[in-house]
Structure 1
Amino acid sequence: MAGDVTYTVDGNVAVVTIDNPPVNAFGFDVRRGVIEAMDRAEADPAVTCVVLTGGGRTFSGGADITEFGKTPREPSLPDVNTRCETMNKPVVAAIHGFAFGGGLEVSLSCHGRIASADAKVALPEVKLGLIPGAGGTQRLPRLIGPEAALDVIVPGNPVAAPKALSVGILDRISEKDLLEDAKAFARDLAAGDMPSALRDREDKLEAARRDPSAFEAHAAALTKKTRGLEAPLACVRAVRMTLDTPFDEALVKERDIFIELMNGDQSKAQRHLFFAEREAGKVPGIGKDVRPRQVRKAAVIGAGTMGGGIAMALVNGGVPVTILEMNQEAIDRGMAVIRRNYDTSVKRGSISEEERDKRLGRLSTTTSYDDIADADLVIEAVFEEMSVKKVVFGTLDEVMKPGAVLASNTSYLDVDEIAQMTKRPSDVLGMHFFSPANVMKLLEIVRGKETAPDVVATALALGKQIGKVPVVVGVCHGFVGNRMLSARSAENEALLLEGASPSDVDKAFLDFGFSMGPFAMGDLAGLDIGWRNRKSLGQTAVIFDALCEEGRFGQKTGKGFYSYEDGPRDAKPDPWVEALIEEKAKELGVNRRSIDATEIIERTIYPMINEGARILEEGIALRPSDIDIVWINGYAFPIGKGGPMFWAEQAGLDHIVERLEYWHGRTGNPVFEPSVLLRKAAESGETLASAKAGKDDVA
């Protein structure tokens, strides 16, 4: 066999094992090896059945993504599937760990599937901007029905073995020895009638073929919030072919759709993000030899919106948490919100009552610092003012045990200045969660100038444990995300004064691919947050400040840039705001005009990209892809565009520099002055990463 596949025989069972660590991807050698193994098993008269399994920790993570976009090498993954399903001896897939993507597609071409109780299966190609391209959209509906198949394929989420058994993806679950149970299953199949291949099964399709209305309604519901992403709709289109297109013809069309998407901009962007997320975990000075500190118990200072959300995120990840507040009233208020959030999750069916009670059981509260002294990690989530945070950290320094990690959830403030309130600055760092902290995936880990490597490693490990996407950044005002957000927002008031309405700007963002525009987002987050921040910096904003002075803080007060008379989900343009904008423009002598979407994007997104380049120049972010991960996971930048820095390179850095220079000349706003790195990359034709590397080399 090829070196990545082994072949052994146990009595009458041939065992074919994929051995291509770390995830047994179906690269060229694996594909060739599996086909050779099937040929060998079929030719051996002593072999009556075959078990296909994976070596190491898993069955298979699917296709080798590094081969995407390159000249295909035969045999292809569809060739492997055809070979398995046309065997004249039954083939059983023995799944442990996970069978994702092509791994599950290969198992669907087998005649039976058995898995360990903790295994998971998935067709996650949609997350890479693709559809399953090796028969998954045609075989799975024939196994479990087209609507159930949509539930697996369109969201692309993992399905645990018990659920996979109940819906029919799996035939059996092994409670003991998977390989031995798989051999027994294969022998059972060999002793009976040869099972029919999925390609030949039609019974699960009959109801939808007679009346496709339920299928269409289910597809519409699943794709309701795709916001311009092509792959979810393409998944539906491919599955729909099971209703009216012969199997072999549908396989060809499925592959054509897969290749079309693979060559498209959205899939390139989503594959960039796949690798970027993994790259973000690689931090200079934090190698495998740096062991994170153990976090057996944690504490959170503050039971407000952020503190409560952070506590939920921690207990959801299995970490016991004590919440500290100044008084019992604040504790009761915060715990009521936490309980209500968990009760809502139970009602939605996302967690069971038992799981809710387990999570609440990991939570305790106190009003005394003495009760958190033995915590391994404490996260401060108090008011965003330096003086307040300094008091908290001075107290923590006195109370917390040696070796405890002291983290601040600050959104803007100088972590190094905070650390100087302690005698242990090496134990201090920023852990910037995003609201709601129990939902949002981004975790900005702010590495101070004295933060110890094992403290950074601890934050990285904890972030992954609680389901976050951690990105290590440096110290500056606003770090990566909020600093770029400030640049993006720099022209917001000018756009309003010069003639755009809040809904004009928000619509331009929606059309670009954002799920929400900046003014609707401001209303959601609370306009008073920015108001307080401006005050602390001695800054003003004519329209924003006027709204806040009227008590219009957004959704929480029922009025902000929009009116929310019918509830927080129903934003309506407010004539009062329009009149305010016109009045302020008149006071400032601004002649208002019509402003189109192109201008709005150039004056908001382009400065943000420019600021990202400055952040790279300064070493606040390690690489452009880290910035992309921050903006995708923390600020809902359109996934199909791959993040601001990736999108900028696709749009053309030279064009962006040209337009920045134009707007700098028109407005004089320094956010438009092209950064050295951005100009260098544009003039040389390099990527931002290579231009940064060249700059670093010179330095």
Structure 2
Amino acid sequence: MQQWFGGAVDMDGKALTDAVRVERRGAVLVLILAHRPVNVLSQQLRAMLSAALTELAATDLAAVVIASDLAAFSAGADLSELGKGATSPRMSDLCLQIENFPKPVIVALNGSTLGPGLELALAAHGRIAAPTAQLGLPEIGLGLVPEAGATQRLPRLVGAAAALKLMLEPAPISAAQALTIGLVDEVVEGDLRAAACAMAERMAAALKGAAPLKTADRRDGLRDGKGYQAAVAAARALYAVSPLPAPLHVVACVEAAQLLPLEQGLAFEAAAYETLSATPQAQGLRHAFQAERRAILPPVALARSAAGKLDSLAVLGAADPAAAVVLQALAAGLRVSLVEPARDMLVTALQKIAAQQEAAVAEGRLTPEARDADWARLSTGSTLGGAVDLVLNNADAPPALEDASIPVIALGALPARGAGTRVGISAALATGLVAELAAGVDAPVATQAMGLALARRLGWKLVFTGPGGPIDRRLRASLSAAIAQLEAEGLSRPVIGGALASFGMGVSPRGPLPAPPPEAKRVLDACLAAMANQGARMISEGLARRPLDVDAAAVLHGIFPRWQGGPMFQADKRGLLVLRADLRKRAEAAPQIYAPDPLFDRLIADGRDLAALNRSDLTA
């Protein structure tokens, strides 16, 4: 039997047809999620699942399996719904429906199972995973606690220490780790769906018509009461001085799981979620997350363009950051040519590469065999010899290449004027950090595509910009200029530093934040105004596509505390009328820093804020 539940329409007008399919395998019914691209548990998908379960409860089935047809079981929540109030059915209601289902419900976890996706799995009566599954509860990164019972069900399964680690550290864990702590019951190679159905049949046969054991009634993680309390106390002490309220709420919810029945614990969790949703920290973190996610999406034309093959790379010029880029390219398996006519500079760069590789070998992060293989793929010389797939120009003069078909990308920022059709990339100094791909309006898309391919190969987070950057350097310069101006006005460097630290600049999310000095408001108003004005200038120049790109760069580069959202987010919070008036007043003494960019005038005249540019992707 095969049936489709679909045909609903989401808030963007995109049909959700075929989002949930039902198949019968003997006495087991399989609910197959296929809400592309990653099974986010939107209101529409929740409604379909709930309707399917309601219909199936009255059938002659022995058990239900919930599986996915996609690469991920579920990437979690629909972030467009955050902050807009609960919509029926709520995720917590769906989880209760699954937990109270009269027949066993087994979930088959593949790929990413995050946030509400994992909460759905926790509510089921059994969990089976593919070896490649990744399970996590990343809500802490949004300044929130889980919303659908994870703080209550997870500790009942795995204990306080493992539950707190999973909820306080947003990185997911592997299927093997989940099996070790008791989060999943089995990890299987091969046909995951068939294995889940077999588990469902075994459970149904053992129950002989009795109701399955609910996670709410499990006590696996509660047996060691003293150990449970010690884990709660240790986490509370660790986060006691954090500038973010969410960690201590997570700790309190996990403590409640030991002390309260499930119904009261769920109410406690729901109250914490609602409280945190309204905090400025959660609003800032949500904005930063969404800004980062959108900033690293390439422009449409670039996203549609396929890059050529990328097996070999030439770096022209051995000055910084050439050594860091070469090291990363070798680690990614590329053949690399480092070209530098000045022998002393070439030797210095090679020494840097060798020193970092030897340190990695000593620390066990790199094997001697891998190091030797890297060196075998590295060639050096004073001129470029032989064909390569991509050239990074780290020299002052553009290269003269015999083969004009080889794409050339400047390693570093492009000038605001005279860039022509060149493309530049401001490199990340390590895998996982942020880089900026800068391109003029006439830059060849094929060359940009090679820059994107390189960034992905090296594991960089790539923000897409125009000439005149990089964004982070411009923001740092505006902040430094504002600080210098404040010093010229008589404020001391310690007072300025204390004010910025009280805002979170340079402070770990585990804190603590110092008390703001008496001049904190004066300092913060001046520094944030300077950065917002610089952001507006970059948008007007075409360096930044939208305000969110400025915010993403500020957060990703560590200039701005993540929970404060970014300078453009803070500008909207302050209000553009107030900001413009402050800029005009400050411009009397320092026009080079504070003369308001015309973008503010246009937005105020239209009754819009900076966020409107993010929504419309318009910059004029």
TM-score > 0.5, shorter chain as reference: yes
Q: 1:487 to 1:207 in 2, by over 3 A?
A: same
The residue number in structure 1 matching 2:550 is 627
In the TM superposition, residue 209 of structure 1 has moved relative to its aligned partner by 4.2
Read off the aligned partner of 1:67 and give its amino acid letter: E
User: For structure 1, which segment, 614-623 or 259-268, has the greater mean C-alpha deviation from structure 2 after superposition?
Assistant: 259-268
In the TM superposition, residue 322 of structure 1 has moved relative to its aligned partner by 4.4
The residue number in structure 2 matching 1:511 is 502
Read off the aligned partner of 2:412 and give its amino acid letter: T
Q: How does 1:4-153 map to 2 (within 5 A)?
A: 4-45=19-60, 47-153=61-167
- Distance in 1 (CA, whole Å) between partners of 2:363 and 2:260 is 40
Normalised to the residue count of structure 2, the TM-score between the two structures is 0.86
Read off the aligned partner of 1:429 and give its amino acid letter: V
Q: 1:137 to 1:487 in 2, by over 3 A?
A: same
2:521 paired with 1:598 = yes
* Aligned with 1:611 (options 515, 534, 544): 534
The residue number in structure 2 matching 1:408 is 410
Q: 1:96 to 1:225 in 2, by over 3 A?
A: farther
Q: 1:360 to 1:486 in 2, by over 3 A?
A: farther
In the TM superposition, residue 117 of structure 1 has moved relative to its aligned partner by 1.8
The residue number in structure 2 matching 1:254 is 269
* Aligned with 1:456 (options 421, 430, 448): 448
The residue number in structure 1 matching 2:609 is 687
2:388 paired with 1:375 = yes
* Aligned with 1:677 (options 599, 603, 609): 599
- Distance in 2 (CA, whole Å) between partners of 1:181 and 1:511 is 54
2:426 paired with 1:432 = yes
In the TM superposition, residue 112 of structure 1 has moved relative to its aligned partner by 1.3
2:501 paired with 1:494 = no
- Distance in 1 (CA, whole Å) between partners of 2:78 and 2:47 is 13
- Distance in 2 (CA, whole Å) between partners of 1:138 and 1:126 is 16
The residue number in structure 1 matching 2:287 is 272
- Distance in 2 (CA, whole Å) between partners of 1:324 and 1:5 is 56
The residue number in structure 2 matching 1:480 is 471
Read off the aligned partner of 1:378 and give its amino acid letter: V
Q: How does 1:282-321 map to 2 (within 5 A)?
A: 282=297, 284=299, 286-301=301-316, 306-315=321-330, 317=332, 319-321=334-336
The residue number in structure 1 matching 2:347 is 329
Is the contact between residue 491 and residue 603 of structure 1 (CA under 8 Å) also seen in structure 2?
yes
Q: 1:198 to 1:484 in 2, by over 3 A?
A: same
The residue number in structure 1 matching 2:219 is 202
Deviation per CA, 1:505-549: give whole Å up to 9, x if none: 2221111111269xxxxxxxxxxxxxxxxxxxxxxxxxxxxxxxx
2:566 paired with 1:643 = yes
- Distance in 1 (CA, whole Å) between partners of 2:278 and 2:523 is 29
The residue number in structure 1 matching 2:14 is none
The residue number in structure 2 matching 1:539 is none
Q: 1:320 to 1:87 in 2, by over 3 A?
A: farther
The residue number in structure 2 matching 1:183 is 197
* Aligned with 2:458 (options 463, 466, 482): 466
Is the contact between residue 440 and residue 634 of structure 1 (CA under 8 Å) also seen in structure 2?
no
SS in 2 for 1:490: helix
In the TM superposition, residue 689 of structure 1 has moved relative to its aligned partner by 5.4
In the TM superposition, residue 273 of structure 1 has moved relative to its aligned partner by 2.8
In the TM superposition, residue 82 of structure 1 has moved relative to its aligned partner by 0.9
The structure with the largest helix share of the pair is 1
Deviation per CA, 1:463-516: give whole Å up to 9, x if none: 24433221221112x442222322222133333344333322222111111126
| Structure 2 unmatched runs, 5+ | 7-18, 509-516
Read off the aligned partner of 2:218 and give its amino acid letter: R
Is the contact between residue 426 and residue 436 of structure 2 (CA under 8 Å) also seen in structure 1?
yes
- Distance in 2 (CA, whole Å) between partners of 1:293 and 1:489 is 41
Is the contact between residue 222 and residue 228 of structure 2 (CA under 8 Å) also seen in structure 1?
no
In the TM superposition, residue 74 of structure 1 has moved relative to its aligned partner by 1.9
The residue number in structure 1 matching 2:259 is 244
SS in 1 for 2:412: coil
Q: 1:324 to 1:150 in 2, by over 3 A?
A: farther
In the TM superposition, residue 11 of structure 1 has moved relative to its aligned partner by 0.6
In the TM superposition, residue 196 of structure 1 has moved relative to its aligned partner by 2.4
Is the contact between residue 376 and residue 403 of structure 1 (CA under 8 Å) also seen in structure 2?
no
- Distance in 2 (CA, whole Å) between partners of 1:123 and 1:511 is 29
SS in 1 for 2:396: helix
In the TM superposition, residue 266 of structure 1 has moved relative to its aligned partner by 2.5
Deviation per CA, 1:329-352: give whole Å up to 9, x if none: 324421233225524764xxxx5x
Deviation per CA, 1:646-682: give whole Å up to 9, x if none: 11101212221122222223x2433111111123334
Read off the aligned partner of 2:449 and give its amino acid letter: A
- Distance in 2 (CA, whole Å) between partners of 1:92 and 1:691 is 45
Is the contact between residue 93 and residue 112 of structure 1 (CA under 8 Å) also seen in structure 2?
yes
Read off the aligned partner of 2:467 and give its amino acid letter: V
Read off the aligned partner of 1:494 and give its amino acid letter: Q
Q: 1:7 to 1:144 in 2, by over 3 A?
A: same
Is the contact between residue 73 and residue 110 of structure 2 (CA under 8 Å) also seen in structure 1?
yes
- Distance in 1 (CA, whole Å) between partners of 2:573 and 2:32 is 41
The residue number in structure 2 matching 1:389 is 396
- Distance in 1 (CA, whole Å) between partners of 2:383 and 2:617 is 50
In the TM superposition, residue 16 of structure 1 has moved relative to its aligned partner by 0.8
Q: 1:460 to 1:263 in 2, by over 3 A?
A: farther
Deviation per CA, 1:208-260: give whole Å up to 9, x if none: 54662344224544x4895x233333322322322323322111111121122
- Distance in 1 (CA, whole Å) between partners of 2:527 and 2:94 is 49
The residue number in structure 1 matching 2:15 is none
- Distance in 2 (CA, whole Å) between partners of 1:252 and 1:235 is 14
In the TM superposition, residue 447 of structure 1 has moved relative to its aligned partner by 0.6
Read off the aligned partner of 1:202 and give its amino acid letter: R
* Aligned with 1:166 (options 180, 185, 189): 180
Q: 1:35 to 1:311 in 2, by over 3 A?
A: same
Q: 1:410 to 1:595 in 2, by over 3 A?
A: farther
- Distance in 2 (CA, whole Å) between partners of 1:695 and 1:92 is 43
The residue number in structure 1 matching 2:514 is none
In the TM superposition, residue 315 of structure 1 has moved relative to its aligned partner by 4.6
Q: 1:40 to 1:695 in 2, by over 3 A?
A: closer
The residue number in structure 1 matching 2:248 is 233
Q: Percent identity?
A: 28
- Distance in 1 (CA, whole Å) between partners of 2:570 and 2:281 is 10
The residue number in structure 2 matching 1:398 is 401
- Distance in 2 (CA, whole Å) between partners of 1:446 and 1:302 is 19
- Distance in 2 (CA, whole Å) between partners of 1:415 and 1:655 is 30
- Distance in 2 (CA, whole Å) between partners of 1:126 and 1:16 is 30
The residue number in structure 1 matching 2:234 is 217
Is the contact between residue 546 and residue 618 of structure 2 (CA under 8 Å) also seen in structure 1?
no
- Distance in 2 (CA, whole Å) between partners of 1:33 and 1:309 is 50
Is the contact between residue 551 and residue 565 of structure 2 (CA under 8 Å) also seen in structure 1?
yes
- Distance in 1 (CA, whole Å) between partners of 2:615 and 2:106 is 50
- Distance in 2 (CA, whole Å) between partners of 1:36 and 1:74 is 12
Is the contact between residue 621 and residue 627 of structure 1 (CA under 8 Å) also seen in structure 2?
yes
- Distance in 2 (CA, whole Å) between partners of 1:597 and 1:373 is 59
- Distance in 2 (CA, whole Å) between partners of 1:10 and 1:168 is 27
User: For structure 1, which segment, 688-697 or 166-175, has the greater mean C-alpha deviation from structure 2 after superposition?
Assistant: 688-697
Q: How does 1:643-662 map to 2 (within 5 A)?
A: 643-662=566-585
- Distance in 2 (CA, whole Å) between partners of 1:197 and 1:209 is 24
2:438 paired with 1:446 = yes
Read off the aligned partner of 1:622 and give its amino acid letter: R
Is the contact between residue 76 and residue 115 of structure 2 (CA under 8 Å) also seen in structure 1?
yes
In the TM superposition, residue 380 of structure 1 has moved relative to its aligned partner by 4.1
SS in 2 for 1:459: helix
| Structure 1 unmatched runs, 5+ | 382-387, 420-424, 518-593
